Every structure is written in C-alpha cells, then in structure tokens.
Amino acid sequence: MATKKTIPIKSATPKNQYDCLKCPGYCCSYPLIEVTKRDMERVARHFSVSLTVAKKKFFRYDRSEKSWCLRRKNDEHFKKICRFFDTEERRCTIYHARPGVCRDYPGEPHCGYYDFLKFEREHQQDKDFIATTS
C-alpha cells in the first residue's frame, strides 16, 4: 500500500524580510524620486484635483534628468525628504496612491536600509534609534 506524501508548496514570491512601518524613510530621502504620468494621475485622483493642479502642487520637472519627480520638504534627519512623508509619524501619507517606483522598492525580499536600521538599533540598544548617514 502506497503512502501519500505531502509536498510543501513554496510561493513564487518570497516573503519580505523588512517592515516599512518601522523604518524612518531612508528611501524617501532620495534627492530624485521620478514619477510617471500614471503616477501623477493616481496622486491627482487621491487628492481629487486635476492633473494640472497636481503637477504644480506635488511634482517638479527636473531639467538635468529630463523627468518629473516628487517635490521635497525639510526633514530633521535627512535634510530633505519626499513632500508626502509625515515627518512626525515617519511614514508615507499617500501609501495607497504612492508612485510605482515606491511600490516596487526595494524589489527584493531584503531592504539594505532596514537591515542597517535593525543592526544599529540592536547595537544602540534603542528600538527607536534613527541612524543617519550624513
């Protein structure tokens, strides 16, 4: 009599080894976060404004890169950060409408910033420590 053997099924998508909600927003401090027209339209819908209004208010055209990008604002940790980043709560305010580049980041199960953050918090023995690189 043959025995049925259970074979575990592995997911094609590896589980993320990071938690953006515990990160102070390293990737949000990039000097240039490019957006597509589709991204701008998504943000415009999120705020119930026209694309023209959204472009003026939330985005800027970078002449050197010849592309649209997110506007930035001052930040106590990184000098400048995405204008949609809540600097008190340290999280994205438009998470469900965020640009594609933000949705795809980091593009793998590990985030180098999160690994760095975990390491620093363990060594500082402070679960809220924000390590800066500047």
Q: How far apart are CA 16 and CA 79, in angstroms?
A: 28
Q: Is residue 67 a part of any domain in this protein?
A: yes
Q: Is residue 79 a part of any domain in this protein?
A: yes
CB contact at 8 A, 131 and 122:
no
Question: What total number of domains does the chain contain?
Answer: 1
Q: Write out pLDDT tens, residues 75-122.
A: 988 899 999 999 998 889 999 999 999 988 888 888 888 888 888 889
Q: Is residue 132 a part of any domain in this protein?
A: no
pLDDT at 22 over 90: no
Indicate yes or no: pTM above 0.85.
no
Q: Write out pLDDT tens, residues 36-61.
A: 999 999 999 999 999 999 999 999 99
Beta bridge partners of 69: 34, 60
CB contact at 8 A, 110 and 117:
no
CA distances for 41 relative to 15, 17, 52, angstroms: 30, 31, 10
Structural domain for 39, as ranges:
29-106
According to the model, what pLDDT value does residue 127 have?
Answer: 85
